[in-house]
Amino acid sequence: MLRVISGTLRGRALLVAKGAATRPTSGRVREALFDALSVRMGLAGCVVLDLYAGTGALGIEALSRGAAKAVFVDRDVRILVTNLRGLGLVAQGEAIQMTVEDFLQHKRQAFDLVLADPPYGCDAVTLLERLGGMSDLLENDGILVLEHAQEQELPLHSGNLHSVWERRYGATVVSMFGVVSNAP
């Protein structure tokens, strides 16, 4: 069973779709990731983008830890919407049923935190290049988190992003990128 790890919703259960199509981030990985994020940035009041949201576990964890709003993007949001309703997060969570590629073409705002957990087989390097090339994706002190397979070695820099943290958890790697400052 998938549960919220910490914050105001700690211990609350999340529904998970049956089958191999959805692969939620494990509790161990979510806990380590959000502990690292709490050192790098305060989540209080943040606006979060959860790409390839699936169950919404990552964005919901951010909301539980103080984020003000989360935008969830996935091609199928049925389970996600059920989780948001069940946790009383409908006002804080916006579920957008659309491919990530289409969403990125129509994006209207910058985010403090972008969480991306693409499906197996997704080219994480190409995704990072695309996200790094979007100078308006993140606020100046924003963070991008990209979960990927260990076989996919990500560059240390991509566009306006630079690597600030990376950890391996079995076959899964979580990489964190910050915005490159233009300051002298």
Task: Confirm if 112 and 179 have CB atoms less than 8 A apart.
Answer: no
* Topology, domain 2-179: Rossmann fold (3.40.50)
pLDDT at 184: 42
Any idea where the domains of the chain sit in the sequence?
2-179
Task: Confirm if 171 and 147 have CB atoms less than 8 A apart.
Answer: no
pLDDT at 182: 57
pLDDT at 70: 98
- Tens digit of pLDDT per residue, the chain (184 long)? 799 999 999 999 999 987 655 667 888 889 999 999 998 898 999 999 999 999 999 999 999 999 999 999 999 999 999 999 999 999 999 999 999 999 999 888 999 999 999 987 889 999 999 999 898 899 988 999 999 988 898 999 999 899 999 999 888 899 999 997 654 4
pLDDT at 142: 93
Query: Which amino acid is residue 155, in one-letter code?
Result: P
pLDDT at 21: 58
Could you write out the DSSP letters of every residue in 25-94? PPHHHHHHHHHHHHHH---TT-EEEEET-TT-HHHHHHHHTT-SEEEEEES--HHHHHHHHHTT-TTTEE
pLDDT at 183: 46
**Strand 161-169 relative to strand 157-158, pairing:** antiparallel
- Let me know if 98 is exposed, middle or buried by CB neighbors in 10 A (0-12, 13-18, 19+): middle
Look-up of token digits 């969570």: 93
Using DSSP, state whether 102 is helix, strand or coil: helix
Cα separations (Å) of 50 from 47, 59, 72, 104, 183? 10, 6, 5, 12, 28
What number of other Cβ atoms are within 10 A of residue 147's Cβ?
20
pLDDT at 28: 85
pLDDT at 6: 94
Give the Cα separation of 9 and 61 in Å (integer): 8
Positive/negative CA dihedral, 105, 161, 27, 25 = positive
